[in-house]
Amino acid sequence: MCPTTSPSAAAARFTGRSVTGERPLSGSLAEVTLDDGRTVIAKRGDGTGAARAEAAGLRWLADAGTVRIPTVHGDDECWLVTDRVAQGPASTRTAVRFGRELAALHATGAPAFGAAPPGGPEDAFIGLAPMRNITGTDWPRWYAEHRVLPYLRGAVDAGTVGTDEAADVERVCERLPELAGPAEPPARLHGDLWNGNVLWGADGHVHLIDPAAHGGHRETDLAMLSLFGCPHLDRVLEGYQETAPLADGWAGRVGVHQLFPLLVHAVLFGRGYAEQALAVARAALRRRPG
């Protein structure tokens, strides 16, 4: 457990600056103003290692030098302190640029599917859910064993998905070698790329926060953008395709990649997401391979 301390104290400790103001935000976040005029975000952890895992992911993504990532000022078991992103409008020009930068991020690669960021733990998190970074070389098998089936079992154990219903997802996992499309090398993924983690900056760039970073299939990040909505997604995809064209048939594989985040949400939030997961699984089973 984390000792009681304040966002201001954490920000001062990690930045080496005095604090002149503090404003609570939603949940575990606070905005802290420093004596040099800068503003940082202090995020409270729960002592489980989530803050350190997030910090490792942010640094790994930043090291690629592609998509903008807030600077990490410091982290421990209880706190993460980063720069605050000054936000602006979501424009089509920024969307195309984001697509290009995301493609470049993915292309920097990872040592293996499931590879954790340097310094990141094997037992990491996606949102509030545990996520194990166990490596593999074969994406269909790795994705089934370490991204889909653990959350399917969790949903079944919670009674959110019935045993008969789970069989449809299990059949998708069995067919993944034929449904996954052409083999791809491990990409450097954000890993939790829903719209809430995509900040449209006042500087004309997208900035990414709160990753569940790991080595994975690049179509998984894009599928999550599609699942939870992203402004000007068509222009994001335009910029991506200009930089690193996706393999033929990628649009038909979106549902396969959405199984992972949907089952995570089914475990965390219940039946509505389970029904979405079952719908995409059944659609995948009706699809021709490729």
- What pLDDT, in 10s, does the model give residues 245-273? 999 999 999 999 999 999 999 999 999 99
Instruction: Give the integer Cα–Cα distance in Å for 269 and 265.
Output: 5
Amino acid 55: pLDDT: 96
CB 233 within 8 A of CB 223: no
Whether the per-residue pLDDT at 23 is higher than 80: the answer is yes
Mean pLDDT, range 123-141, rounded to an integer:
92
Instruction: List active site positions.
Output: 192
| Residue 36 buriedness (CB in 10 A; 0-12 / 13-18 / 19+) | exposed
- Which pLDDT band, with edges at 50, 70 and 90, does 149 fall under? very high
Select the CATH number that applies to the domain covering 92-286 from these four: 3.90.1200.10, 3.70.10.10, 3.40.50.10950, 3.90.950.10: 3.90.1200.10
- How far is residue 90 from each of residues 96, 203, 225, 243, 247, measured CA to CA in Å? 11, 11, 14, 21, 28
What is the CATH T-level fold of the domain 7-83, as seen in this structure? Phosphorylase Kinase; domain 1 (3.30.200)
pTM of the complete model: 0.94
Amino acid symbol at 216: G
Mean pLDDT, range 1-17, rounded to an integer:
87
E strands, 108-211, are: 123-126, 129-132, 187-189, 198-200, 206-208
Instruction: Give the integer Cα–Cα distance in Å for 223 and 194.
Output: 9
- Which pLDDT band, with edges at 50, 70 and 90, does 125 fall under? confident
Mean pLDDT, range 143-172, rounded to an integer:
96
Domains of the chain by residue range: 7-83, 92-286
Percent of the chain at pLDDT exceeding 90? 88
Instruction: Give the integer Cα–Cα distance in Å for 110 and 135.
Output: 10
7-83 and 92-286: same fold?
no
Whether the per-residue pLDDT at 139 is higher than 90: the answer is yes
What are the backbone dihedrals phi and psi of residue 21, each rounded to the nearest 5 degrees, phi first?
-170, 155
Average pLDDT score over the chain: 94
- Which pLDDT band, with edges at 50, 70 and 90, does 242 fall under? very high
Measured from the Cβ of residue 290, the count of other Cβ atoms closer than 10 Å reads: 14
CA atoms within 13 A on the CB side of 163: 0
Amino acid 228: pLDDT: 86
- Which pLDDT band, with edges at 50, 70 and 90, does 127 fall under? confident
Amino acid 49: pLDDT: 82
- Which pLDDT band, with edges at 50, 70 and 90, does 5 fall under? confident
Mean pLDDT, range 207-219, rounded to an integer:
97
Total H helices, total E strands in the chain: 10, 11
Percent of the chain at pLDDT exceeding 70? 98
Mean pLDDT, range 53-74, rounded to an integer:
97
At residue 58's C-alpha, the angle toward residues 53 and 60, to 5°, is 95
Considering only residues 66 and 286, tell me which one the structure prediction assigns the higher pLDDT: 66
CB 235 within 8 A of CB 257: no
Buried b (16+ CB within 10 A) or exposed e, 242-275: ebeebeeebebbbbbbbbbbbbbbbbbeeeebbe
